[in-house]
Amino acid sequence: MSKTLSAFCLTLACSAALSAQIPVLHLPLLRSAPAIDGDLSEWKELAFSDGGWDIYRLRQMPWFDPSRNRLTDHGDEPSPEDDLQARYYTAWDAKYLYLGAEVRDNVNDADDPEHQDKRWYFKDCICWFIEAPRDLAPEFFGQGDNAFCFVIDTRKPEYGAWWRHGAPDTTYIEEPLPKSAVDYQLHMNPWGRSPGDFILEARVDLQATFAKSDPRWAPPQVGDTWGLEIVHTDPDGGPYGGHFIVYGTGDDDSTWGEAILTGPTQPVERRDQ
Ligand SMILES: [Ca+2]
Ligand SMILES: [Ca+2]
Ligand SMILES: [Ca+2]
Ligand SMILES: [Ca+2]
Report the separation in Å between the CA atom of 238 and the middle of ligand 2, taken as the mean of its atom positions: 11
Report the separation in Å between the CA atom of 168 and the middle of ligand 2, taken as the mean of its atom positions: 37
Mean pLDDT of the chain: 91
d(CA 229, CA 3): 21
d(CA 120, CA 97): 20
d(CA 242, CA 69): 7
Q: Global pTM? A: 0.92
**CB neighbour class for 230 (10 Å; exposed up to 12, middle 13-18, buried from 19):** buried
For 58-72, 119-133, 168-182, which range has the lowest pLDDT when averaged over its residues?
A: 58-72
∠ Cα 225 89 150 (to 5°): 95
- Model pLDDT for residues 80-92, shown as the tens digit of each residue: 888 999 999 999 9
Report the separation in Å between the CA atom of 41 and the middle of ligand 2, taken as the mean of its atom positions: 24
Amino acid identity of 120? W
Amino acid identity of 163? W
d(CA 35, CA 41): 10
| Structural domain boundaries in the chain | 24-262
- What is the DSSP secondary structure assignment for residue 79, as one 8-state letter? -
Ligand at minimal distance from the CA of 78 is: 2
What pLDDT is recorded for position 167?
Answer: 96
Return residues with CB closer than 5 A to ligand 4 (ion).
Answer: 105, 107, 109, 124, 234, 236
d(CA 175, CA 25): 28
For 22-31, 206-215, 238-247, which range has the lowest pLDDT when averaged over its residues?
A: 238-247
Where residue 242 falls among pLDDT bands split at 50, 70, 90? confident
What pLDDT is recorded for position 139?
Answer: 95
Bridge partners, 173 (sequence order): 165
Q: Is 188 helix (H, G, I), strand (E, B) or coil?
A: strand
∠ Cα 117 153 90 (to 5°): 95
| Fold type of domain 24-262 | Immunoglobulin-like (2.60.40)
Torsions phi, psi for 219 (to 5 deg): -50, 145
- Model pLDDT for residues 20-48, shown as the tens digit of each residue: 689 999 999 999 999 999 999 999 999 99
If you average pLDDT over residues 260-273, what whole number do you get?
Answer: 92
Report the separation in Å between the CA atom of 87 and the middle of ligand 3, taken as the mean of its atom positions: 26
CA-based end-to-end distance of the chain: 45
